[in-house]
C-alpha cells in the first residue's frame, strides 16, 4: 500500500478498505492523460517561476520515461498504488528524487482526475466520430449502388409504399449524421481545461491556467473552480449521445435480423459475421446484429448509473465520482466495438434485390398510387380510396397483385380505369414519381446522395489524425 497522504494518519488502512477505495484497477487507463497533464502542469509552473527550468526538465524527463517504460513493458502498474496519479507520482520520485515531490505544487488529485477524464473523453469522442464516418461512408456507397433497387417501405411492419434500398439506407445515414453532430456539439463544451482548479478553491500559487489549457490543446480554462472539479456533464453528454447512437444501431440491427430471416430473405449476412447452432445444422444466426441490439441496454445502463451517481452530490468533489470511470469506459468501448463490427457486417452484407422487389410487388404497396391515379382522372380522393380498398380485397381473395388484374376486372370497380392504369401502378412508376425533397424517386435521391457526400466530406473530424493513438493506449491491457 503506497499512498500519497500518510502524514496525518497514525493507524494503518484496513486491507479491504484499501482495496475498496483503490481505483488503480481501472484508472490505469488514464496513464497517458495523467502524464500529459502533469507535463503541462510542470511546464506552466516553470513559466510562472514556481519551478526552476532545471527542475521542470527533470520532472518532464521522469514523466516521459515512465510513459515509455510502461508502454515498452519495462514498468508494470501494480495494485500497490491507490490510483494512477499515485503510481505516476511515486515513480517520478523514485526516478527524479526530491524534485519529483514538487510536481504536485498547486494541484490536487481533484483537478488532476477532472483533467485526465476530460482528455481521455476528448480523444474518444474523436475516435467515435471516425468510426461513425466509416459507417456512413459504407452507407453512402450502398446508397449509390442501390438507387434503383426497389423494396417495400413499411409502417406498422406492414408493407406500405414502395421505396428503394438507397432511400431506406439513407434514413440511417441521417441518423448517424445527427449522432456525429451531437459529438461535435458536446466536444465544444467539454474542450475546456479544469487544471488549476485545485481541490475546489483554486490555489495561492500564481498559476497561469490559460497557459496550461493552451499546452493541452483546450480552447481555454474552465471558469468556476468548484464546478471544474465536480462537473461530469461532458461524460453524461457523451453517454447520452452514445445511447442515442446505440438506439439507432439497434434499430438497424433489428432490421438486419428481420431481413436475414427465411421469411424476408432480403439479405444474407456473410459467413464471417454469422454463427451456427450446436444442434441445428441448418442454422446461420445473425449473432453480431443481435449482440449490437443487446449491448444497447448496457450503454443505457451506464448512462443511468452515472446520472444516478451524480444526482445527490453536494459540491464539490466527492469520492462517489470515482464511480464515473468503469461505466463510462464500458459504454465507450461497447459503442466503439458495436459501430466498428456493424460497419464490417454491413460492408459484406448481400442484398437480394429480386426478393426485395418481389416483396414490394406482392404487398399492394402501389395501392396509394392506384388511388392517386383515379384522383388524377377526377375521382375525389376519399372515393378513390374506397374503390381501391375493395379492389385490394378482391385481389386478396384471388391471391394476386393489383397489376395482375385485367382492365375489364378493373372496370367492374370503376369505369374511370383505362389502359394507362398499368403503367401508373407499376412499381417503377410509383418510385420514380416520388420526387419531393427527401423522397425515393431517382432525381430526389440523387440530390440526397450529393448532399450526403458533401456532409461526409466536411465532417468535423475529417481533418483530425488518429495516428498517434494506439490501441494499447485507448484500452489498457
Q: Which residues are catalytic?
A: 156, 277
- Can residue 89 be called a binding residue for ligand ARG (CB under 6 A)? no
Give me the phi and psi of 437, to 5 degrees please. Answer: -55, 130
All three cell numbers of 461: 473530424
Give least dist CB 111 to ligand ARG, A: 9
Instruction: Give the footprint of ligand ARG on residues 316-335 (CB under 6 A).
Output: 317, 319, 321-322
Q: Which is nearer to ligand ARG, 22 or 139 (CB)?
A: 22
Give least dist CB 110 to ligand ARG, A: 5
Alpha helices, DSSP H only, in 316-470?
A: 324-347, 353-361, 367-376, 381-398, 407-413, 421-424, 427-432, 442-457
- Can residue 23 be called a binding residue for ligand ARG (CB under 6 A)? yes
Answer whether 85's CB lies under 8 Å from 117's CB.
no
Give the number of residues in contact with ligand ARG, rule: CB under 6 A. Answer: 10
Answer whether 90's CB lies under 8 Å from 2's CB.
yes
Residues sharing a CB contact under 8 Å with residue 292, sequence separation 6 or more, in sequence order: 246, 249, 250, 253, 338, 341, 342
Binding mask 45-84 for ligand ARG (x = CB under 6 A): --------------------------------------x-
- Can residue 33 be called a binding residue for ligand ARG (CB under 6 A)? no
Q: Can you tell me which residue has the cell 519495462?
A: 74
Question: What share of residues in the chain are helix, strand, coil (percent, to 5)?
Answer: 65, 5, 30
Region for residue 36 given its phi and psi (left: phi exceeds 0; alpha: psi -120 to 50; beta: otherwise): alpha
Taking CB atoms within 8 Å and a gap of at least 24, the contacts of 461-469 are 461/126, 461/129, 461/130, 461/133, 461/184, 462/133, 464/126, 464/130, 466/126, 466/127, 466/130, 469/123, 469/127
CA angle 391, 264, 440 (to 5 degrees): 65
Q: Which is nearer to ligand ARG, 285 or 322 (CB)?
A: 322
Q: Which is nearer to ligand ARG, 117 or 138 (CB)?
A: 117
Give least dist CB 332 to ligand ARG, A: 16
d(CA 174, CA 417): 39
Characterize 109-138 residue by residue with b for buried, 16 or more Cβ atoms within 10 angstroms of its Cβ, and e for exposed.
bbbbbbbbbbbbbbbbbbbbbbbbbebbbb
Residue number closest to ligand ARG, CB atom: 322
Number of H helices, E strands in the chain: 20, 4
- Can residue 110 be called a binding residue for ligand ARG (CB under 6 A)? yes
| Interface pick for ligand ARG out of 56, 113, 216, 246 (rule CB under 6 A) | 113
Q: Can you tell me which residue has the cell 394476386?
A: 400
Q: Which is nearer to ligand ARG, 249 or 332 (CB)?
A: 332
For ligand ARG, which stretch binds (CB under 6 A), given 72-80, 97-105, 108-116, 387-395?
A: 108-116
Helical (H) or strand (E) element with 64 = helix 53-72
For ligand ARG, which stretch binds (CB under 6 A), given 47-55, 109-117, 329-337, 430-438?
A: 109-117
For ligand ARG, which stretch binds (CB under 6 A), given 105-113, 299-307, 422-430, 467-475?
A: 105-113
Report which of 370, 474, 345, 477 is spatially closest to residue 33, judged by C-alpha positions: 474
All three cell numbers of 13: 488502512
- Can residue 203 be called a binding residue for ligand ARG (CB under 6 A)? no
- Can residue 177 be called a binding residue for ligand ARG (CB under 6 A)? no
Give least dist CB 322 to ligand ARG, A: 4
Give least dist CB 435 to ligand ARG, A: 56
Q: Which is nearer to ligand ARG, 321 or 328 (CB)?
A: 321
Give least dist CB 263 to ligand ARG, A: 50
Give least dist CB 153 to ligand ARG, A: 49
- Can residue 27 be called a binding residue for ligand ARG (CB under 6 A)? yes
For ligand ARG, which stretch binds (CB under 6 A), given 144-152, 155-163, 314-322, 400-408?
A: 314-322
- Judged by the rule CB under 6 A, the positions of this chain that interact with ligand ARG are 23, 27, 83, 109-110, 113, 317, 319, 321-322
Amino acid at each position: 500500500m503506497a499512498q500519497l497522504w500518510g502524514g496525518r494518519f497514525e493507524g494503518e488502512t484496513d486491507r479491504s478498505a484499501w482495496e475498496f477505495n483503490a481505483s488503480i484497477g481501472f484508472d490505469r487507463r488514464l496513464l497517458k492523460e495523467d502524464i500529459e497533464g502533469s507535463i503541462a502542469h510542470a511546464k506552466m509552473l516553470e513559466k510562472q517561476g514556481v519551478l526552476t527550468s532545471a527542475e521542470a526538465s527533470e520532472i518532464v524527463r521522469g514523466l516521459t520515461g515512465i510513459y515509455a517504460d510502461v508502454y515498452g513493458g519495462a514498468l508494470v502498474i501494480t495494485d500497490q498504488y491507490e490510483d494512477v496519479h499515485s503510481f505516476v507520482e511515486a515513480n517520478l520520485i523514485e526516478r527524479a528524487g526530491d524534485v519529483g515531490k514538487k510536481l504536485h505544487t498547486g494541484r490536487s488529485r481533484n483537478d488532476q482526475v477532472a483533467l485526465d477524464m476530460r482528455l481521455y473523453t476528448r480523444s474518444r469522442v474523436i475516435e467515435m466520430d471516425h468510426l461513425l464516418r466509416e459507417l456512413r461512408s459504407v452507407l453512402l456507397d450502398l446508397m449509390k449502388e442501390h438507387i434503383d433497387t426497389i423494396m417495400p417501405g413499411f409502417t406498422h411492419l406492414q408493407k406500405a409504399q414502395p421505396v428503394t434500398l438507397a432511400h431506406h439506407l439513407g434514413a440511417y445515414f441521417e441518423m448517424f449524421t445527427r449522432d456525429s453532430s451531437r459529438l461535435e456539439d458536446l466536444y465544444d463544451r467539454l474542450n475546456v481545461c479544469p487544471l488549476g482548479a485545485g481541490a475546489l478553491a483554486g490555489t495561492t500559487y500564481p498559476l497561469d491556467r490559460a497557459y496550461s489549457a493552451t499546452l493541452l490543446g483546450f480552447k481555454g480554462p474552465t471558469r468556476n473552480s468548484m464546478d471544474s472539479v465536480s462537473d461530469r456533464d461532458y461524460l453524461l453528454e457523451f453517454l447520452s449521445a452514445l445511447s442515442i447512437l446505440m438506439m439507432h444501431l439497434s434499430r438497424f440491427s433489428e432490421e438486419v435480423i428481420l431481413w436475414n430471416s427465411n421469411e424476408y430473405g432480403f439479405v444474407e449476412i456473410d459467413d464471417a459475421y454469422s454463427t451456427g447452432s450446436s444442434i441445428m445444422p441448418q442454422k446461420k444466426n445473425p449473432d453480431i446484429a443481435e449482440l449490437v441490439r443487446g449491448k444497447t441496454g448496457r450503454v443505457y445502463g451506464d448512462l443511468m448509473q452515472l446520472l444516478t451517481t451524480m444526482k445527490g452530490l453536494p459540491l464539490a468533489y466527492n469520492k462517489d465520482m470515482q464511480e464515473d470511470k468503469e461505466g463510462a469506459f464500458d459504454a465507450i468501448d461497447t459503442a466503439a466495438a458495436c459501430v466498428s463490427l456493424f460497419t464490417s457486417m454491413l460492408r459484406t452484407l448481400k442484398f437480394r434485390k429480386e426478393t426485395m422487389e418481389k416483396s414490394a410487388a406482392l404487398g399492394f404497396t402501389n395501392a396509394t398510387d392506384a388511388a392517386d391515379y383515379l384522383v388524377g382522372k377526377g375521382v375525389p380522393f376519399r372515393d378513390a380510396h374506397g374503390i381501391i380498398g375493395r379492389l385490394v380485397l378482391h385481389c386478396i381473395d384471388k391471391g394476386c397483385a393489383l397489376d395482375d388484374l385485367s382492365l375489364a376486372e378493373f372496370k367492374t370497380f370503376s369505369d374511370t380505369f383505362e389502359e394507362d392504369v398499368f403503367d401508373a401502378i407499376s412499381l417503377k412508376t410509383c418510385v420514380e414519381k416520388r420526387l419531393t425533397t427527401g423522397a425515393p424517386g431517382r432525381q430526389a435521391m440523387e440530390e440526397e446522395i450529393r448532399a450526403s457526400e458533401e456532409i461526409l466530406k466536411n465532417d468535423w473530424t475529417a481533418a483530425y489524425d488518429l495516428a498517434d493513438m494506439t490501441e494499447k493506449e485507448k484500452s489498457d491491457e
